[in-house]
Amino acid sequence: MGGAVLCRWRGAGGRTRDRVHFEMRLLMDMGDSLGINADHVQLARLDKIATQKIPKLTGDQCRHAEDVIGQLFDVGEVLKVFLDEVNKPDAQAAPDWVDSFPGQFCEWANRSLALPDVIFDEESLGKISIDERFAVALLEFVFLGAPQCHDDPTYRGHRLHDIFRHSA
């Protein structure tokens, strides 16, 4: 999606072939600064059409593209909304709790976490209460396959890596 928006901005038009190569050009020019997987950036560098026919982005163009991508993929805002919804006060008391976002999250945690009880408030054990550190690890688990923390942190007395089921 971000590549399509930037293609229109850069004039690559609606031609799918151009869009694919333009996205490869974006990965080449901005992949490292955006934190894109190094293997994907390296693969993009193998696209001869993108290398030969699409000019390298200038510094101003890279900054503009980063702003556009930041607006499309504001992870901080996604995290805030996710935490607000999951930790919604009194959600469990609602008659439709099972179908609510916190109810669905609880069901997901039961299926997906090795230690699903960590999502509940330590004092009451009846209210979902997660913090930003756990939410980041959770998003990394969902999108990257495992929490990406390197210093082996704990959450409520458990190693973060032990909380999440390992994918086979």
Are 46 and 99 in a shared domain? no
- Name the percent of the chain lying above pLDDT 90: 21
Are 90 and 153 in a shared domain? yes
Are 34 and 7 in a shared domain? yes
Q: In the predicted model, what is the mean pLDDT of residues 19-43?
A: 86
In a domain, 134, yes or no: yes
Whole-angstrom CA distances from 158 to 93, 118, 131, 167 are 29, 9, 14, 19
- Please give the pLDDT value at position 1: 42
16, pLDDT greater than 50: no
For the ranges 15-29, 55-69, 123-137, the lowest mean pLDDT is seen at 15-29
Q: Where are the alpha helices (DSSP H) in 89-131?
A: 101-112
- Please give the pLDDT value at position 168: 40
Global pTM reads: 0.58
6: Cα within 13 Å, side-chain hemisphere: 26
108, pLDDT greater than 50: yes
In a domain, 168, yes or no: no
Beta strand ranges found along 9-162 (DSSP E):
154-155, 158-159
In a domain, 27, yes or no: yes
> What domain range includes position 21?
2-73
Domain count, the chain: 2
pLDDT category at 69 given cuts 50, 70, 90 is: confident
